[in-house]
Chain A
Amino acid sequence: MNHAFLLANGVLTFQKTTTTQESSEPLVRETVMALFDLIPDVWEDQEFKDDIARGRTEQIQDVRPDFCGEIASIQWCQSHRIPAYQKVVVYNHHLLMKACINLLERRGFLSRKVFKEIFTGKRFKKPEAQDMADVLAEIMKENAGGY
Protein backbone atom coordinates (compact mmCIF):
# COMPACT_ATOMS: atom_id res chain seq x y z
CA MET A 1 0.00 0.00 0.00
CA ASN A 2 1.23 3.44 -0.80
CA HIS A 3 0.43 4.87 2.58
CA ALA A 4 1.88 8.29 1.82
CA PHE A 5 -0.57 8.54 -1.10
CA LEU A 6 -3.52 7.54 1.10
CA LEU A 7 -2.59 10.19 3.66
CA ALA A 8 -2.20 12.83 0.97
CA ASN A 9 -5.56 11.81 -0.44
CA GLY A 10 -7.11 12.20 3.02
CA VAL A 11 -5.70 15.73 3.34
CA LEU A 12 -6.96 16.65 -0.15
CA THR A 13 -10.44 15.31 0.62
CA PHE A 14 -10.51 17.46 3.77
CA GLN A 15 -9.53 20.51 1.72
CA LYS A 16 -12.25 19.85 -0.86
CA THR A 17 -14.85 19.26 1.85
CA THR A 18 -14.14 22.51 3.66
CA THR A 19 -14.13 24.63 0.53
CA THR A 20 -17.24 23.22 -1.15
CA GLN A 21 -20.59 25.01 -0.82
CA GLU A 22 -22.26 21.84 0.41
CA SER A 23 -19.82 21.66 3.29
CA SER A 24 -21.34 20.74 6.61
CA GLU A 25 -20.15 19.88 10.08
CA PRO A 26 -20.90 16.12 9.72
CA LEU A 27 -19.07 16.01 6.38
CA VAL A 28 -15.98 17.70 7.86
CA ARG A 29 -16.16 15.36 10.84
CA GLU A 30 -16.27 12.31 8.62
CA THR A 31 -13.33 13.38 6.44
CA VAL A 32 -11.21 14.17 9.49
CA MET A 33 -12.10 10.85 11.07
CA ALA A 34 -11.21 9.08 7.80
CA LEU A 35 -7.75 10.65 7.95
CA PHE A 36 -7.56 9.88 11.63
CA ASP A 37 -8.19 6.20 10.98
CA LEU A 38 -5.22 6.08 8.61
CA ILE A 39 -2.78 6.95 11.40
CA PRO A 40 -1.24 3.83 12.93
CA ASP A 41 -1.15 3.60 16.72
CA VAL A 42 2.64 3.35 16.73
CA TRP A 43 2.91 6.84 15.27
CA GLU A 44 0.93 8.45 18.07
CA ASP A 45 3.33 10.30 20.33
CA GLN A 46 2.73 12.46 23.39
CA GLU A 47 2.56 15.63 21.33
CA PHE A 48 -0.16 14.11 19.18
CA LYS A 49 -2.13 13.16 22.28
CA ASP A 50 -1.73 16.70 23.68
CA ASP A 51 -2.91 18.20 20.37
CA ILE A 52 -6.02 15.98 20.45
CA ALA A 53 -6.70 16.98 24.04
CA ARG A 54 -6.62 20.62 22.92
CA GLY A 55 -9.33 19.93 20.35
CA ARG A 56 -11.52 18.07 22.81
CA THR A 57 -14.13 19.84 25.00
CA GLU A 58 -16.66 18.47 27.41
CA GLN A 59 -20.09 20.04 27.26
CA ILE A 60 -23.09 19.62 29.54
CA GLN A 61 -26.21 19.22 27.43
CA ASP A 62 -29.80 19.72 28.57
CA VAL A 63 -31.51 16.42 27.81
CA ARG A 64 -34.81 17.02 29.62
CA PRO A 65 -37.79 15.62 27.72
CA ASP A 66 -40.44 17.95 26.45
CA PHE A 67 -44.16 17.36 26.41
CA CYS A 68 -46.24 19.29 23.88
CA GLY A 69 -43.47 21.89 23.58
CA GLU A 70 -43.13 22.24 27.36
CA ILE A 71 -39.76 21.17 28.84
CA ALA A 72 -40.01 19.05 31.94
CA SER A 73 -38.76 20.64 35.14
CA ILE A 74 -35.60 19.41 36.89
CA GLN A 75 -37.62 18.35 39.92
CA TRP A 76 -39.93 16.29 37.70
CA CYS A 77 -36.93 14.62 36.04
CA GLN A 78 -35.35 13.86 39.44
CA SER A 79 -38.60 12.40 40.75
CA HIS A 80 -38.90 10.19 37.67
CA ARG A 81 -35.14 9.37 37.70
CA ILE A 82 -34.66 10.82 34.25
CA PRO A 83 -31.27 12.58 33.75
CA ALA A 84 -31.74 16.30 33.20
CA TYR A 85 -28.18 16.97 31.99
CA GLN A 86 -25.62 14.83 30.20
CA LYS A 87 -21.88 15.21 29.71
CA VAL A 88 -20.96 15.07 26.02
CA VAL A 89 -17.47 15.10 24.51
CA VAL A 90 -17.26 17.41 21.51
CA TYR A 91 -14.30 17.63 19.17
CA ASN A 92 -13.17 20.63 17.22
CA HIS A 93 -12.41 18.85 13.98
CA HIS A 94 -10.22 21.61 12.63
CA LEU A 95 -7.95 21.24 15.65
CA LEU A 96 -7.93 17.48 15.14
CA MET A 97 -6.89 18.01 11.56
CA LYS A 98 -4.13 20.28 12.81
CA ALA A 99 -2.97 17.52 15.18
CA CYS A 100 -2.77 15.11 12.23
CA ILE A 101 -0.81 17.61 10.14
CA ASN A 102 1.59 18.25 13.03
CA LEU A 103 2.11 14.52 13.38
CA LEU A 104 2.84 14.16 9.67
CA GLU A 105 5.35 17.00 9.94
CA ARG A 106 7.08 15.29 12.85
CA ARG A 107 7.17 12.05 10.89
CA GLY A 108 8.96 13.88 8.07
CA PHE A 109 6.13 13.76 5.50
CA LEU A 110 5.81 17.48 4.92
CA SER A 111 9.28 18.95 4.88
CA ARG A 112 12.78 17.70 4.34
CA LYS A 113 15.06 17.79 7.31
CA VAL A 114 18.46 19.29 6.76
CA PHE A 115 21.31 17.54 8.49
CA LYS A 116 24.39 19.59 9.05
CA GLU A 117 28.02 18.96 9.88
CA ILE A 118 29.92 21.87 11.38
CA PHE A 119 33.62 22.14 12.04
CA THR A 120 35.05 25.27 13.60
CA GLY A 121 38.44 24.78 11.95
CA LYS A 122 40.25 24.79 15.27
CA ARG A 123 42.21 22.08 16.98
CA PHE A 124 40.60 20.92 20.17
CA LYS A 125 42.63 21.98 23.17
CA LYS A 126 43.45 19.19 25.59
CA PRO A 127 41.99 20.66 28.83
CA GLU A 128 38.68 21.48 27.10
CA ALA A 129 38.54 18.19 25.25
CA GLN A 130 35.28 16.41 25.66
CA ASP A 131 34.50 13.11 24.13
CA MET A 132 31.69 13.03 21.54
CA ALA A 133 29.81 10.36 23.50
CA ASP A 134 29.89 12.45 26.69
CA VAL A 135 28.58 15.54 24.91
CA LEU A 136 25.88 13.46 23.30
CA ALA A 137 24.82 12.03 26.67
CA GLU A 138 24.78 15.53 28.16
CA ILE A 139 22.54 16.83 25.37
CA MET A 140 20.18 13.88 25.70
CA LYS A 141 19.93 14.52 29.43
CA GLU A 142 19.19 18.22 28.93
CA ASN A 143 16.52 17.47 26.37
CA ALA A 144 14.95 14.54 28.18
CA GLY A 145 11.39 14.06 26.98
CA GLY A 146 12.15 14.54 23.34
CA TYR A 147 12.96 17.45 21.11
Chain B
Amino acid sequence: MSITLKNANFHGWETLINPGARVYPYFSCALRTRITQKRATNIVVTGEPGVGKSYQTIDIVRVSEGLTLGGKDRFSLDQVVFRYPDFMKLTVSLAMGKCIVFDEPSYAMGKRDWFKEVNKALVQTIESKRFKVHPMFIPVINKALLDKTIRCFLIQFQIEVRDRGRATVYRIEPSQSSDKVYRKTFCQLEYRMLDWDLCDRDTCLDCDKLDPENSEDRCEIFRARYERKKALIQDTRYSQAAEMAEHAETKEMTNDQIAERLIDFKDLFTDQDGKIDCDLLRIVAKDKCQVVMGHTRGYTIVKLLKYKHPDVFH
Protein backbone atom coordinates (compact mmCIF):
# COMPACT_ATOMS: atom_id res chain seq x y z
CA MET B 1 0.00 0.00 0.00
CA SER B 2 1.38 3.38 -0.91
CA ILE B 3 1.57 5.74 2.01
CA THR B 4 0.71 9.36 1.51
CA LEU B 5 1.45 12.13 3.96
CA LYS B 6 -1.18 14.77 4.44
CA ASN B 7 -0.55 18.40 5.24
CA ALA B 8 -2.11 19.54 8.46
CA ASN B 9 -2.20 22.63 10.56
CA PHE B 10 -0.46 22.44 13.93
CA HIS B 11 -0.85 25.72 15.80
CA GLY B 12 -0.35 27.62 12.57
CA TRP B 13 2.62 25.60 11.29
CA GLU B 14 2.45 23.08 8.49
CA THR B 15 3.07 19.49 9.53
CA LEU B 16 2.84 16.20 7.67
CA ILE B 17 0.84 13.39 9.17
CA ASN B 18 -0.10 9.79 8.59
CA PRO B 19 -0.44 7.79 11.78
CA GLY B 20 -0.36 4.52 9.82
CA ALA B 21 3.12 5.36 8.62
CA ARG B 22 3.89 6.54 12.16
CA VAL B 23 4.31 10.14 11.06
CA TYR B 24 2.60 12.49 13.43
CA PRO B 25 3.61 15.41 15.68
CA TYR B 26 4.08 13.00 18.59
CA PHE B 27 6.56 15.08 20.55
CA SER B 28 4.81 18.42 20.07
CA CYS B 29 1.52 16.85 21.15
CA ALA B 30 3.17 15.24 24.19
CA LEU B 31 4.69 18.59 25.07
CA ARG B 32 1.36 20.39 24.79
CA THR B 33 -0.31 17.70 26.89
CA ARG B 34 2.29 18.06 29.64
CA ILE B 35 1.83 21.83 29.65
CA THR B 36 -1.95 21.53 29.75
CA GLN B 37 -1.70 19.07 32.62
CA LYS B 38 0.67 21.48 34.39
CA ARG B 39 3.44 18.93 34.72
CA ALA B 40 7.08 19.89 35.11
CA THR B 41 8.84 19.74 31.76
CA ASN B 42 12.58 20.14 31.50
CA ILE B 43 14.17 19.26 28.21
CA VAL B 44 17.84 19.06 27.44
CA VAL B 45 18.97 19.44 23.83
CA THR B 46 22.34 17.88 23.13
CA GLY B 47 24.59 17.79 20.11
CA GLU B 48 28.08 18.64 19.00
CA PRO B 49 29.02 22.32 18.61
CA GLY B 50 27.60 23.97 15.51
CA VAL B 51 25.11 21.20 14.77
CA GLY B 52 22.18 23.59 15.27
CA LYS B 53 21.03 22.89 18.82
CA SER B 54 19.89 26.43 19.52
CA TYR B 55 18.01 26.80 16.24
CA GLN B 56 16.39 23.39 16.72
CA THR B 57 15.36 24.30 20.26
CA ILE B 58 13.87 27.59 19.19
CA ASP B 59 12.02 25.91 16.31
CA ILE B 60 10.52 23.31 18.64
CA VAL B 61 9.37 25.97 21.06
CA ARG B 62 7.99 28.18 18.28
CA VAL B 63 6.00 25.24 16.92
CA SER B 64 4.79 24.27 20.36
CA GLU B 65 3.60 27.74 21.27
CA GLY B 66 2.23 28.27 17.78
CA LEU B 67 1.11 31.34 15.88
CA THR B 68 -1.60 33.86 16.58
CA LEU B 69 -4.52 34.24 14.19
CA GLY B 70 -2.58 37.08 12.59
CA GLY B 71 0.29 34.69 11.86
CA LYS B 72 2.66 36.09 14.47
CA ASP B 73 4.75 34.01 16.85
CA ARG B 74 3.39 33.51 20.34
CA PHE B 75 6.94 32.74 21.40
CA SER B 76 8.91 35.89 22.03
CA LEU B 77 12.65 36.43 21.91
CA ASP B 78 12.47 37.57 25.54
CA GLN B 79 11.87 33.94 26.43
CA VAL B 80 15.43 33.13 25.39
CA VAL B 81 17.78 33.83 28.29
CA PHE B 82 21.50 33.44 28.65
CA ARG B 83 22.09 34.28 32.31
CA TYR B 84 20.73 33.26 35.66
CA PRO B 85 19.40 36.71 36.71
CA ASP B 86 17.48 37.00 33.43
CA PHE B 87 16.09 33.52 33.95
CA MET B 88 14.84 34.35 37.44
CA LYS B 89 13.26 37.59 36.23
CA LEU B 90 11.51 35.72 33.45
CA THR B 91 10.28 32.98 35.78
CA VAL B 92 8.52 35.62 37.84
CA SER B 93 7.06 37.68 35.02
CA LEU B 94 6.23 35.08 32.36
CA ALA B 95 2.67 33.85 31.92
CA MET B 96 1.86 30.29 32.93
CA GLY B 97 2.60 27.64 30.33
CA LYS B 98 5.12 29.72 28.39
CA CYS B 99 8.45 28.10 27.60
CA ILE B 100 11.89 29.34 28.59
CA VAL B 101 15.03 28.61 26.59
CA PHE B 102 18.16 28.83 28.75
CA ASP B 103 20.65 29.12 25.95
CA GLU B 104 24.38 28.79 26.09
CA PRO B 105 25.98 32.11 25.16
CA SER B 106 28.69 30.38 23.08
CA TYR B 107 32.16 31.19 24.23
CA ALA B 108 31.25 34.59 25.64
CA MET B 109 31.05 33.07 29.05
CA GLY B 110 33.15 30.28 30.46
CA LYS B 111 31.29 27.03 29.93
CA ARG B 112 31.98 26.06 33.50
CA ASP B 113 30.36 29.27 34.78
CA TRP B 114 27.40 28.83 32.49
CA PHE B 115 26.73 25.27 33.63
CA LYS B 116 27.01 26.44 37.22
CA GLU B 117 24.26 28.97 36.49
CA VAL B 118 22.05 26.40 34.75
CA ASN B 119 22.45 23.95 37.61
CA LYS B 120 21.68 26.67 40.10
CA ALA B 121 18.64 27.76 38.11
CA LEU B 122 17.26 24.26 37.85
CA VAL B 123 17.85 23.21 41.42
CA GLN B 124 16.44 26.44 42.83
CA THR B 125 13.31 26.42 40.74
CA ILE B 126 12.16 22.80 40.93
CA GLU B 127 9.39 23.60 43.34
CA SER B 128 8.33 26.92 41.87
CA LYS B 129 8.31 25.54 38.34
CA ARG B 130 5.65 23.07 39.35
CA PHE B 131 3.31 25.97 39.98
CA LYS B 132 4.56 28.40 37.37
CA VAL B 133 4.54 25.78 34.59
CA HIS B 134 7.39 27.00 32.45
CA PRO B 135 8.77 24.22 30.27
CA MET B 136 12.51 24.72 30.17
CA PHE B 137 14.78 23.95 27.25
CA ILE B 138 18.53 23.76 27.78
CA PRO B 139 20.81 23.33 24.76
CA VAL B 140 24.12 21.79 25.94
CA ILE B 141 26.99 19.97 24.29
CA ASN B 142 26.65 16.95 26.53
CA LYS B 143 24.12 15.98 29.16
CA ALA B 144 26.95 14.78 31.42
CA LEU B 145 27.93 18.43 31.97
CA LEU B 146 24.78 18.95 34.01
CA ASP B 147 24.56 18.14 37.67
CA LYS B 148 23.81 14.45 38.30
CA THR B 149 20.57 15.07 40.17
CA ILE B 150 19.35 17.27 37.35
CA ARG B 151 20.28 15.02 34.47
CA CYS B 152 18.91 11.89 36.16
CA PHE B 153 15.81 13.04 37.94
CA LEU B 154 14.76 16.47 36.69
CA ILE B 155 15.04 16.07 32.96
CA GLN B 156 12.01 14.52 31.27
CA PHE B 157 13.18 14.50 27.67
CA GLN B 158 16.48 14.55 25.89
CA ILE B 159 16.68 15.70 22.29
CA GLU B 160 19.80 14.53 20.54
CA VAL B 161 20.48 16.70 17.50
CA ARG B 162 22.32 14.72 14.82
CA ASP B 163 22.25 17.17 11.96
CA ARG B 164 20.55 20.43 11.10
CA GLY B 165 16.85 19.85 11.68
CA ARG B 166 17.27 16.15 12.43
CA ALA B 167 17.05 14.89 15.97
CA THR B 168 15.96 11.98 18.12
CA VAL B 169 13.83 12.48 21.19
CA TYR B 170 14.38 10.25 24.21
CA ARG B 171 12.17 9.97 27.26
CA ILE B 172 14.22 9.96 30.43
CA GLU B 173 12.60 7.78 33.06
CA PRO B 174 14.33 7.19 36.38
CA SER B 175 13.50 3.97 38.15
CA GLN B 176 11.40 4.54 41.26
CA SER B 177 13.08 1.71 43.14
CA SER B 178 16.74 1.84 42.14
CA ASP B 179 19.40 4.21 40.84
CA LYS B 180 18.81 3.24 37.24
CA VAL B 181 17.76 5.84 34.70
CA TYR B 182 16.11 4.57 31.54
CA ARG B 183 16.42 6.38 28.24
CA LYS B 184 13.67 5.29 25.87
CA THR B 185 13.41 6.35 22.25
CA PHE B 186 10.34 8.53 21.87
CA CYS B 187 10.36 9.69 18.28
CA GLN B 188 12.46 11.28 15.58
CA LEU B 189 12.22 14.90 14.56
CA GLU B 190 12.56 16.25 11.07
CA TYR B 191 12.22 19.99 11.03
CA ARG B 192 12.93 22.05 8.02
CA MET B 193 14.22 25.35 9.35
CA LEU B 194 11.28 27.60 10.18
CA ASP B 195 10.89 30.66 7.93
CA TRP B 196 13.04 29.10 5.19
CA ASP B 197 10.46 30.45 2.75
CA LEU B 198 11.42 33.94 3.91
CA CYS B 199 15.19 33.30 3.92
CA ASP B 200 16.91 30.04 3.05
CA ARG B 201 20.35 30.84 4.54
CA ASP B 202 21.29 28.19 7.07
CA THR B 203 23.10 30.70 9.27
CA CYS B 204 22.83 34.43 9.85
CA LEU B 205 26.45 34.89 10.89
CA ASP B 206 27.82 35.95 7.51
CA CYS B 207 24.73 37.81 6.37
CA ASP B 208 24.96 41.52 5.55
CA LYS B 209 21.43 42.11 6.76
CA LEU B 210 22.17 40.87 10.27
CA ASP B 211 23.48 44.20 11.48
CA PRO B 212 23.66 46.70 8.59
CA GLU B 213 24.52 50.37 8.99
CA ASN B 214 21.10 51.39 7.77
CA SER B 215 18.57 50.02 10.24
CA GLU B 216 15.86 49.85 7.57
CA ASP B 217 17.75 47.04 5.83
CA ARG B 218 17.90 45.04 9.02
CA CYS B 219 16.55 41.51 8.80
CA GLU B 220 13.65 40.95 11.19
CA ILE B 221 13.33 37.18 10.81
CA PHE B 222 13.22 35.43 14.20
CA ARG B 223 16.63 33.79 13.92
CA ALA B 224 18.28 37.08 12.91
CA ARG B 225 16.81 38.78 15.95
CA TYR B 226 18.04 35.88 18.06
CA GLU B 227 21.57 36.22 16.68
CA ARG B 228 21.57 39.95 17.44
CA LYS B 229 20.45 39.30 21.03
CA LYS B 230 23.16 36.69 21.44
CA ALA B 231 25.79 39.02 19.98
CA LEU B 232 24.75 41.73 22.42
CA ILE B 233 25.24 39.38 25.37
CA GLN B 234 28.56 38.27 23.95
CA ASP B 235 29.80 41.86 23.56
CA THR B 236 28.84 42.68 27.13
CA ARG B 237 30.65 39.59 28.33
CA TYR B 238 33.74 40.39 26.27
CA SER B 239 34.00 43.91 27.71
CA GLN B 240 33.53 42.53 31.22
CA ALA B 241 36.26 39.99 30.54
CA ALA B 242 38.54 42.75 29.22
CA GLU B 243 37.96 44.83 32.37
CA MET B 244 38.68 41.85 34.56
CA ALA B 245 41.86 41.08 32.65
CA GLU B 246 43.03 44.68 33.02
CA HIS B 247 42.20 44.62 36.72
CA ALA B 248 44.18 41.43 37.17
CA GLU B 249 47.11 43.04 35.35
CA THR B 250 47.11 46.24 37.44
CA LYS B 251 46.91 44.24 40.65
CA GLU B 252 50.37 42.95 39.97
CA MET B 253 51.88 46.36 39.12
CA THR B 254 54.89 47.53 41.11
CA ASN B 255 54.91 50.80 43.06
CA ASP B 256 57.11 52.40 40.39
CA GLN B 257 54.67 51.45 37.62
CA ILE B 258 51.71 52.83 39.58
CA ALA B 259 53.60 56.06 40.32
CA GLU B 260 54.42 56.49 36.61
CA ARG B 261 50.78 56.04 35.64
CA LEU B 262 49.56 58.45 38.31
CA ILE B 263 51.83 61.23 37.06
CA ASP B 264 49.38 61.82 34.19
CA PHE B 265 46.61 62.59 36.67
CA LYS B 266 48.69 64.67 39.13
CA ASP B 267 46.25 67.62 39.01
CA LEU B 268 43.55 65.44 40.48
CA PHE B 269 45.35 64.66 43.74
CA THR B 270 47.52 67.75 44.37
CA ASP B 271 46.55 71.18 45.66
CA GLN B 272 47.73 74.55 44.26
CA ASP B 273 51.05 74.33 46.10
CA GLY B 274 51.78 70.90 44.68
CA LYS B 275 51.08 69.10 47.92
CA ILE B 276 49.82 65.51 47.53
CA ASP B 277 46.62 64.41 49.26
CA CYS B 278 47.15 60.70 49.99
CA ASP B 279 43.41 59.84 50.20
CA LEU B 280 42.75 61.62 46.90
CA LEU B 281 45.67 59.77 45.34
CA ARG B 282 44.16 56.44 46.36
CA ILE B 283 40.79 57.43 44.91
CA VAL B 284 42.38 58.53 41.62
CA ALA B 285 44.40 55.31 41.49
CA LYS B 286 41.23 53.25 41.87
CA ASP B 287 39.25 55.31 39.41
CA LYS B 288 41.80 55.83 36.66
CA CYS B 289 44.21 52.91 37.03
CA GLN B 290 41.91 50.29 38.63
CA VAL B 291 44.44 49.86 41.44
CA VAL B 292 43.07 49.42 44.93
CA MET B 293 45.63 50.11 47.64
CA GLY B 294 45.76 50.58 51.37
CA HIS B 295 47.01 53.58 53.36
CA THR B 296 50.53 52.18 53.73
CA ARG B 297 51.00 51.63 50.03
CA GLY B 298 49.41 55.04 49.37
CA TYR B 299 51.98 56.82 51.55
CA THR B 300 54.79 54.79 49.98
CA ILE B 301 53.70 55.99 46.54
CA VAL B 302 53.42 59.60 47.81
CA LYS B 303 57.02 59.41 49.01
CA LEU B 304 58.11 57.74 45.78
CA LEU B 305 56.54 60.54 43.72
CA LYS B 306 58.22 63.19 45.88
CA TYR B 307 61.55 61.42 45.56
CA LYS B 308 61.40 60.91 41.80
CA HIS B 309 59.79 64.23 40.89
CA PRO B 310 60.96 66.76 43.51
CA ASP B 311 60.35 69.68 41.14
CA VAL B 312 56.65 68.74 40.68
CA PHE B 313 55.64 67.59 44.16
CA HIS B 314 56.61 69.32 47.40
Residues of A at under 8 Å CB distance from B?
112-124, 128-132, 135-136, 138-139, 143, 147
Contact = CB atoms under 8 A, between A and B. Distances in A.
Given A113-B22, A143-B20, A147-B20, A121 B192 contact: yes
B313 interface: no
A121 B188 contact: no
B238 interface: no
Contacts of A135: 6-8, 17
Given A114-B188, A115-B186, A121-B197, A139 B6 contact: yes
Contacts of B63: 119
Contacts of B86: none
Contact of B22 (A114, A119, A124): A114
A143 B189 CA distance: 25
Contacts of B71: 123
A138 B5 CA distance: 11
Contact of A123 (B14, B18, B186): B14
B6 A123 contact: no
Given A130-B8, A131-B8, A121 B26 contact: no
B278 interface: no
Interface string B15-40: 11111111111111000000000000
A140 B195 CA distance: 31
Contacts of B191: 118-119, 121
Contacts of A120: 7, 13-16, 192
A45 to B, nearest CB: 15
Main secondary structure of the interface of A (DSSP, over half): mixed
A143 B26 CA distance: 20
Given A123-B71, A136-B19, A118 B5 contact: yes
Contacts of A143: 1, 20
A139 B9 contact: no
| In the complex, the 4 A-B pairs of residues with the closest C-beta atoms, listed nearest first | A121-B192, A147-B20, A115-B187, A135-B8
Contacts of B197: 121-123
A112 B22 CA distance: 12
B26 to A, nearest CB: 5
B185 A128 contact: no
Contact of B188 (A117, A124, A136, A147): A117
Contact of B6 (A116, A129, A138, A147): A138
B10 A123 contact: no
Most buried by B among A118, A131, A138: A118
A129 B26 CA distance: 20
B67 interface: yes
Most buried by B among A119, A122, A130: A119
Given A114-B22, A139-B19, A119 B13 contact: yes
A128 B7 CA distance: 9
Given A117-B15, A117-B27, A124-B12, A139 B20 contact: yes
Contact of B24 (A113, A115, A131, A138): A115
Contacts of B196: 121-122
Given A122-B197, A123-B12, A138-B6, A116 B20 contact: no
A118 B16 contact: yes
Most buried by B among A114, A123, A130: A123
B185 to A, nearest CB: 7
B194 interface: yes
18 contacts: A114-B187, A115-B23, A115-B188, A116-B22, A117-B25, A119-B15, A120-B7, A120-B13, A121-B191, A121-B193, A123-B12, A124-B14, A128-B7, A130-B6, A131-B9, A132-B8, A139-B20, A143-B1
A70 B1 CA distance: 56
B190 interface: yes
A117 B14 contact: no
Contacts of A139: 6, 17-20
Most buried by A among B1, B17, B193: B17
